[in-house]
Structure 1
Amino acid sequence: MGAAPFPAGILIAAVVFHATVVLSSFPATFHLERGITANYKLKLSKLKERDRVRHGRMLQSSGVGVVDFPVQGTFDPFLVGLYYTRLQLGTPPRDFYVQIDTGSDVLWVSCGSCNGCPVNSGLHIPLNFFDPGSSPTASLISCSDQRCSLGLQSSDSVCSAQNNLCGYNFQYGDGSGTSGYYVSDLLHFDTVLGGSVMNNSSAPIVFGCSALQTGDLTKSDRAVDGIFGFGQQDMSVVSQLASQGISPRAFSHCLKGDDSGGGILVLGEIVEPNIVYTPLVPSQPHYNLNMQSISVNGQTLAIDPSVFGTSSSQGTIIDSGTTLAYLAEAAYDPFISAITSIVSPSVRPYLSKGNHCYLISSRVVLRCGALAFRKFRVKG
């Protein structure tokens, strides 16, 4: 994902090995033989199908299927600065590109007659507007619908006595926001179950229909069709599909950190060995981690551990929808000082719009976003 695609129809040689383990003597020996002969060729589509089945076995963790989504975008704020995926909603299915966000709970997309919604994108992706009236499988969610109460868990739902529609109003940390109403329609996806890929699967889900957008959401340079929230509340798509027995109530998300971008996003658990895990702080609205310390060049910084503690006003969360990493001032200042102390004497640090940058020559400037850290104050 993210790499340049092969030309359509290309034939490439595939090498697949079968391994036999012999345990009759020590040390154990492995006899390898080709599953596909050296002069045999496979179409790229066949090879990709083999890989998808193999990945399905790696990801399978229960009797339910694994739902797979493509991932595009990069971490670099000077290129894209976000990760997004393509969804298909409605009847007939229509494509919608949505930002992947572990810091919010609800899936929403732009709808017709939206005020402030961008109509084109600098990401070179087509933008669509969802129209409930043009999809025969769509239905509006009323205030009396029990599904409306799912949004009340996170204070997202609002009800209008005038039209009895279950609405929402989201405000994000960067000052942007969106409001609209909830609809129910089909989400189309691919699942992997028992090593077999099943295409054209679908399930009804509730999602937001955006009628108003403000702040950075209105800008076209990195515009997408909406936001795909992967939070823990019952309104999230993860929870909705799990309640229908379609996929586990878990997701696996891998972000590629190189310039090619992309990554992996599946609803299901990775069962591949050699993965290092860290526990989440329980009973938190976001995915909070127990951050312990920060080291620069192998040296642990002298930061009061209480800075990393979790409370109602602070904590360390994993948020794929935020471009930069943010540190409390008590951690940020020692971190920047440590970075500055180890850079070459020929490098001159300076501030640009509040960002710490480093001039590495008279003609070349290290981009300020390369540090990818910002400071914020903790309100006591």
Structure 2
Amino acid sequence: MVAAVILFIVTVLSAAAISSSHVTLTLERAFPSNHGVELSYLKALDSFRHQRFLQSTNYVVDFPVKGSFDTSKAGLYFTKVNLGTPPREFYVQIDTGSDVLWVSCASCNGCPQTSGLQIQLNYFDPQSSSTSSFISCSDQRCKNGVQSSDSSCSGRNNQCTYIFQYGDGSGTSGYYVSDLMHFASITEGSLLSNSSAPVVFGCSNQQSGDLTKSDRAIDGIFGFGQQGMSVISQLSSQGIAPRVFSHCLKGDSNGGGLLVLGEIVEPNIIYSPLVPSQPHYNLNLLSISVNGQNLPIDSAIFATSNNRGTIIDSGTTLAYIAEEAYNPFINAITAAIPQSVRTVLSRGNQCYLVTTSLDVFPQVSLNFAGGASLVLGPQDYLIKQNYIGDGSVWCIGFQKIPGQDVTILGDLVLKDRIFVYDLAGQRIGWANYDCSLSVNVSASTGNGRSEFVNAGDLSGSTSLRDGSHKLINRSGIFALFVHITLICYFVFL
């Protein structure tokens, strides 16, 4: 009878602790080590089973952000991913202009050895990970990648491979592997540790161009495109994360920001529909206005077609405007500033010698379909170059690509704003925001509700760190109650 009472008390305490503090208990099977089965292998099998359990729930997955748009520093934003078993850390550039996550691998030819970004470079070795496996040409994931030009097949060894060339002339090639990605995920306001899921990513064994330079070297590129090979698509298909992600990139000299797989919820966000059936995040730019006056530019210049259109790309540092719109854009800004601001040319770029504040420069609006305008202040289209006497030289950060009428909005424009990539709703939204602040993120759940969490850099957010600390303390108190209760039980026996 006493044992039954004690068991009832323990059960009630368990339920009370879990309901009041959202404690998550992780249960693992214990077995003798002489069974001859690697623990990592069994954990991987359990992971697949857990994913089936969680098919009805989407979690918010958080990645830390480092780097800056400042070309005198990093000139790029990057995050950290943990891959393999045991997990290894890799720093990868955040790139919404490509689909695939790839990292430098062992025996890579041309991969940099050191980085000027004060990070330790790593190399992924499939042979050293107990959960790694190669992707064959017959694998459906490889076949899907072939359709989007993200993968190809070698007839010699039946191995799924890739070759990527980027706009700056750099390139990489390698093969695909499948392994566990470990990440921080949150749901119902609680931090869930040791979350993982299998993902397919590229193993780079050849690099060229700027990717080989040590001054801004990283371990790879994290493609956030919408094709099937992207991690956002893979995790969404497994029910791990919603089919939406958001970022908020800090524009100050320290850089950093927020990156979450989930929808940042902010009342001021406005949305514009994505152009359908495009490999990139294309929006329909209708016009450009300076100080409220539309520029004399034919809107057909911005229409999406082969080598035309407007692309949102976090992997681009500056911004690029269709060649036919470039001169009207520059001329309108120059005409709007007072004569006290001297115009100068620096290496072919339109620049200005400014001795006062940037408030003398006009407001620029990029007007998109759906009635959404991206309003740019001077700091969103000007970049400081150097000082001359009592003034400083600011240059137009918008460039043109000779012979092309493509518009690419890179980090210069994306910084200091929330950007939401709603793949399920086929739209992109934005709002001005202080990216040093926390945000609310929504992840739709199986019952149709939305859970809101106070998300941020889980590795550095004080509020989240304190929250998880309180969670541990409550768990400890519960364990103490159970411990005391069991002692009482044995005493009464």
Q: Classify the TM-score, shorter chain.
A: 0.7 to 0.9
Q: Give 2:400's aligned residue.
A: 375
1:366 and 2:397 correspond: no
Q: Give 1:244's aligned residue.
A: 238
Deviation of 1:300 (Å): 2.4
Q: Distance in 1 between matches of 2:274 and 2:330?
A: 27
Q: 1:310 aligns with which of 281, 301, 304?
A: 304
Residues 89-146 of structure 1: CA deviation (Å, up to 9, x unaligned): 1111111000000000000000111111111111111111111111111111122222
Q: 1:208 aligns with which of 202, 213, 225?
A: 202
Matched-pair identity in %: 69
Deviation of 1:340 (Å): 1.9
The residue type paired with residue 270 of structure 2 is V
The residue type paired with residue 399 of structure 2 is R
Deviation of 1:258 (Å): 2.5
Q: Give 1:123's aligned residue.
A: 117
- TM-score normalized with structure 2 length: 0.62
Q: Give 1:166's aligned residue.
A: 160
Matches within 5 A, 1:270-281: 270-281=264-275
The residue type paired with residue 398 of structure 2 is F
Residues 161-189 of structure 1: CA deviation (Å, up to 9, x unaligned): 22221110001111111000001111000
Q: Distance in 1 between matches of 2:162 and 2:110?
A: 16
Q: Distance in 2 between matches of 1:297 and 1:223?
A: 40
Q: Distance in 2 between matches of 1:235 and 1:377?
A: 31
1:332 and 2:361 correspond: no
Q: Give 1:297's aligned residue.
A: 291
Deviation of 1:270 (Å): 2.3
Name the stretch that deviates more: 338-347 or 168-177: 338-347
Q: Give 1:322's aligned residue.
A: 316
Q: Distance in 2 between matches of 1:347 and 1:110?
A: 47
The residue type paired with residue 64 of structure 1 is N
Q: 1:224 aligns with which of 201, 209, 218?
A: 218
Greater helix fraction, Structure 1 or Structure 2? 2
Where 1:332 maps in the other structure, the secondary structure is: helix
Q: Distance in 2 between matches of 1:86 and 1:343?
A: 42
Where 2:321 maps in the other structure, the secondary structure is: strand
Q: Distance in 1 between matches of 2:170 and 2:192?
A: 38
**What RMSD, in angstroms, separates the aligned Cα atoms of the two structures?**
1.9
Residues 302-345 of structure 1: CA deviation (Å, up to 9, x unaligned): 21111111112200010000011101122110111122223343
The residue type paired with residue 275 of structure 1 is I
Where 2:70 maps in the other structure, the secondary structure is: coil
Deviation of 1:348 (Å): 3.2
Q: 1:112 aligns with which of 106, 110, 116?
A: 106
Q: 2:92 aligns with which of 79, 98, 111?
A: 98
Q: Distance in 2 between matches of 1:259 and 1:291?
A: 30
Q: Distance in 1 between matches of 2:297 and 2:182?
A: 48
Q: 1:256 aligns with which of 250, 257, 272?
A: 250
Aligned length: 318
Deviation of 1:278 (Å): 1.7
Are 2:65 and 2:78, in contact at CA under 8 Å, matched by a contact in 1?
Answer: yes
The residue type paired with residue 111 of structure 1 is C
Are 1:296 and 1:339, in contact at CA under 8 Å, matched by a contact in 2?
Answer: yes
Q: Distance in 2 between matches of 1:81 and 1:70?
A: 17
1:149 and 2:143 correspond: yes
Where 2:205 maps in the other structure, the secondary structure is: strand
Are 1:351 and 1:357, in contact at CA under 8 Å, matched by a contact in 2?
Answer: yes
Structure 2 spans left out of the alignment, 5+ residues: 1-55, 356-387, 406-493
Where 1:184 maps in the other structure, the secondary structure is: strand
The residue type paired with residue 400 of structure 2 is K
Deviation of 1:372 (Å): 1.7
Q: Give 2:383's aligned residue.
A: none
Are 1:177 and 1:213, in contact at CA under 8 Å, matched by a contact in 2?
Answer: yes
Q: Distance in 2 between matches of 1:135 and 1:255?
A: 33
Q: Give 2:450's aligned residue.
A: none
Where 1:278 maps in the other structure, the secondary structure is: strand
Where 1:330 maps in the other structure, the secondary structure is: helix
Residues 15-68 of structure 1: CA deviation (Å, up to 9, x unaligned): xxxxxxxxxxxxxxxxxxxxxxxxxxxxxxxxxxxxxxxxxxxxxxx8311111
Q: Distance in 2 between matches of 1:126 and 1:379?
A: 38
Are 2:351 and 2:394, in contact at CA under 8 Å, matched by a contact in 1?
Answer: yes
Q: Distance in 1 between matches of 2:404 and 2:76?
A: 28
Are 1:153 and 1:233, in contact at CA under 8 Å, matched by a contact in 2?
Answer: no
Residues 241-287 of structure 1: CA deviation (Å, up to 9, x unaligned): 11111111111122222333222111112234332222211111111
Residues 334-369 of structure 1: CA deviation (Å, up to 9, x unaligned): 11112222334343333333322223474354143x
Residues 75-101 of structure 1: CA deviation (Å, up to 9, x unaligned): 222222111101101111111000000
Matches within 5 A, 1:177-216: 177-216=171-210
Where 2:146 maps in the other structure, the secondary structure is: helix
Q: Distance in 2 between matches of 1:267 and 1:222?
A: 26
Q: Distance in 2 between matches of 1:219 and 1:358?
A: 31
Q: Distance in 1 between matches of 2:291 and 2:268?
A: 25
Q: Distance in 1 between matches of 2:61 and 2:310?
A: 28
Are 1:120 and 1:126, in contact at CA under 8 Å, matched by a contact in 2?
Answer: yes
